[in-house]
Structure 1
Amino acid sequence: MPKSKGKPENFGNPESRDLTEQLNFRVTKEMKEAVKAKDDPPEFCRKAIQKALDEDES
């Protein structure tokens, strides 16, 4: 069975949007714990960043 890591269909993304890039940044310990407590931390971060980018464009 192939690994699901990085396949867009596993993250609810359109097939044309591959998840090939990584982004690293520092956060406080409290922020890290709060994000880790989410059901799907990577998807939570992607949505939060996209929301901030969308708001920034407006």
Structure 2
Amino acid sequence: MKASELREKTLEELEQEVENLSKEHFNYRMQQSTGQLGQSHMLKEVKKDMARVKTVLNEKRKEA
């Protein structure tokens, strides 16, 4: 997910995206703790995506 794509979204869409990524991150952590997560790089990827979304969200809030 690119920051340029995120900047085109509304605040509500970005907040929903943060919520979805947070749930996805939780699920990956649970899978990792039970030994079911085969792709451990997904944890890092989701965390970075969450950070990108939160950064753009904060930028938009400061503009308003």
TM range (shorter): 0.3 to 0.5
For normalisation by structure 1, the TM-score amounts to: 0.35
For normalisation by structure 2, the TM-score amounts to: 0.33
Ranked by relative contact order (alpha carbons within 8 Å, sequence separation 6 or more), the top structure is 2
